[in-house]
Structure 1
Amino acid sequence: MRFDFFDLRLFLNIVENGSLTKGAECSAISLQAASERVKKLEQHFHIPLFTRHSSGIKMTIAGQVFAEHAQQVLKQAQQLQNAMLPFSQGLITEITLWCNSSAQSEYLPLLLPQYLVENSHLHIELKEAESQDIIQALEKGIAQLGLISSFFNSQHLHTLDFADDPLVLICPQNHDLAKEKILNLADILHYPFVGLIQHHSLQQSIEAQAKQLHCTIQYRLRLPNFTAIAQVVANGVGIAIIPKRAAQHLNKIYKFHQVKLSGTWANRKLLLAAQNFDILNTSYQHFAQFLISQKNQLDNN
């Protein structure tokens, strides 16, 4: 196209004033320059946009269509300008991602550095919570985007697969359970546990499953993270349930045994969830697309 936004604005000024002369004045150019620009527009489309009369000018049907589109183009150009302004001024965009403990400790540290380096204007706050609480926050509009366990009911939300995230039992290498290939939760609840600190979202989820079996977990020790748990389990203190991904990494440092757990609650997936991905603002949509695009990288690590 050989015309620019100035030509569109000029055209609309002419239309609004009903006069080529007044339109030229509003655009701060000479009448001759305005006339030449309009003529070039008409030559470009091979059709007159105005009919000229002694009393002034009047738009043709083609001119009316051109005016409608010119208004839309200028409006979109202003929206583009407004959208780019925060970036040009170095303003910070903040995103809050609600996530369960496994996502926060085992997946996001691998992915977020790359995204933050590529998007220097962005700040990301990670808000850890239990999956059920994240689902409620999303449904109420308190949260915009969350990573949740597939075990919980999220039928009222839009979800996308993010990563496989099963739980496993870890125990000392000489423990009675070390010879087992797969275990049910009911098989292990009478053994002393090493767990995460009270109110930790993953530990609350495990305790909720135990309550359904009318059991209470007996803790020998409660610790703040998976690394500390793996260390004391390896030293023979008790058994624990942690994400398989964490167990695989920590098993390179601490010598413990892993046993697969049965049940939907243990063989879970991480889902990226939102009320509706299509109505998220641009920053959240871009971030969500990035997270889902990294699934292959997660599978290979």
Structure 2
Amino acid sequence: MRHDLVTLRIFVTVAECGNLTRAAAREHLAVSAISKRIAELEALVGTPLLQRYHRGVGLTPAGQALLQHARQMLQLIDRMDLELGEFVAGAKGHVHVHAVASALIQHLPDEIESFLTRYPGVRISLEERTGKAVVLAVADGSAEVGVVADPTPVYGLSSVPYRSDRLAIGVPTGHPLARRKSIRFAQALDYAFVGPHGDSSLAVLMAEAAAACGKPLEQRVQASSFEAMCRLVETRLGITMLPEGVLAPYAAQGRIRIVGLKEPWAQRQMHLVVRDPRQLSHIARTLIEHLQRSAAPA
């Protein structure tokens, strides 16, 4: 069974208008031409697609099924034409990206900057969110691409590996742990923490690790940003757990000390998440491929 795209588009117009005369006006065709196309389509599928009424038309069950498939096919054709046009005019588009702080503070900004240098016609809206909020934004379509870190559940979203980072303990200079090269997390729990936002994936990981150790997690203060957490550690309000890449600039300036964590879960995997890879725009797919290539050497 071979379908004519023009006829399918006319059928969708008739279904949306509910009237042959209005459909003919929208398509700039004669009513007789519309009727002929619909008759040919019904003959092709072998069953009535429209119910004729005195003041218009409605869809039969077969017509309802065809309408759904026809819309999907026409959307794919329109997207194909748009993407092929981008190759002629230069890639363009707008991608909404939501990411956790761990990605934003470490590698993601430089990789997006290099992507925009290559594709200057593209716009990217980049927002920082907790892991849970990133997943919700991708699921409801607010964001096309998300970046999350373990152990954030993705609840049926499609995900691909991105970068990994390693968690470590940051302590003030002169702290009893400052001279240690590495410790177990249970040893860190003997001290008060400067903790992250309660909904963050890092907060969930810390709570689960403390429960596994059978020891309480004392959080003297919680901060909404990694920068604030490091600043609070400097002022000796507690120790903290953050990616080594976040702690390193402060340690290089002698403002805090980094103590390694001898835990398998300290090595975290980040993921790029999308709702449905088949529905991604061409430029969003290109961005994901760029991020994966950038992360590959790491």
Give the TM-score taking structure 1 as reference length.
0.60
Distance 1:98 1:87, change over 3 A: farther
Aligned equivalent of 1:95: 95
Counterparts of 1:278-297 in structure 2, within 5 Å, are 278-296=278-296
- The alpha-carbon deviation at position 226 of structure 1 amounts to 2.8
SS of the residue 1:230 aligns to: helix
Aligned equivalent of 2:189: 189
Counterpart contact for 1:101–1:202, Cα < 8 Å: no
**1:147 aligned to 2:147?**
yes
| Matched residue type, 1:270 | M
Distance 1:123 1:215, change over 3 A: farther
C-alpha distance in 2 between matches for 1:281 and 1:208: 37
Aligned equivalent of 1:240: 240
Counterpart contact for 1:87–1:121, Cα < 8 Å: no
Aligned equivalent of 1:13: none
Distance 1:82 1:200, change over 3 A: closer
C-alpha distance in 2 between matches for 1:131 and 1:197: 11
- The alpha-carbon deviation at position 148 of structure 1 amounts to 1.7
Counterpart contact for 2:152–2:201, Cα < 8 Å: no
Aligned equivalent of 2:85: 84
C-alpha distance in 1 between matches for 2:200 and 2:145: 20
| Matched residue type, 1:94 | H
Structure number with larger C-alpha Rg = 1
- The alpha-carbon deviation at position 143 of structure 1 amounts to 4.2
Aligned equivalent of 2:106: 106
Aligned equivalent of 1:65: none
- The alpha-carbon deviation at position 103 of structure 1 amounts to 0.6
Counterparts of 1:36-185 in structure 2, within 5 Å, are 80=81, 84=85, 93-135=93-135, 137-138=137-138, 143-154=143-154, 156-185=156-185
Query: 1:136-160 deviations in whole A, cap 9, x for unaligned?
Result: 5545655432212233445844433
- The alpha-carbon deviation at position 179 of structure 1 amounts to 4.0
Query: 1:62-106 deviations in whole A, cap 9, x for unaligned?
Result: xxxxxxxxxxxxxx8995477537995x99722112211101221
Distance 1:168 1:121, change over 3 A: same
Distance 1:129 1:213, change over 3 A: farther
- The alpha-carbon deviation at position 174 of structure 1 amounts to 2.5
Percent identical pairs in the alignment equals: 20
Aligned equivalent of 2:267: 267
Query: 1:101-138 deviations in whole A, cap 9, x for unaligned?
Result: 10122121221222223222222222333334434554
Aligned equivalent of 1:35: none
C-alpha distance in 1 between matches for 2:231 and 2:252: 11
Unaligned runs of 5+ residues in structure 2 are 1-76
Counterpart contact for 2:181–2:260, Cα < 8 Å: yes
Aligned equivalent of 2:56: none
Counterpart contact for 1:102–1:243, Cα < 8 Å: yes
Unaligned runs of 5+ residues in structure 1 are 1-75
Counterpart contact for 1:230–1:254, Cα < 8 Å: no
Counterpart contact for 1:168–1:243, Cα < 8 Å: yes
Query: 1:194-227 deviations in whole A, cap 9, x for unaligned?
Result: 2345655534543454456666543444444333
- The alpha-carbon deviation at position 271 of structure 1 amounts to 1.6
Q: CA RMSD in A?
A: 3.7
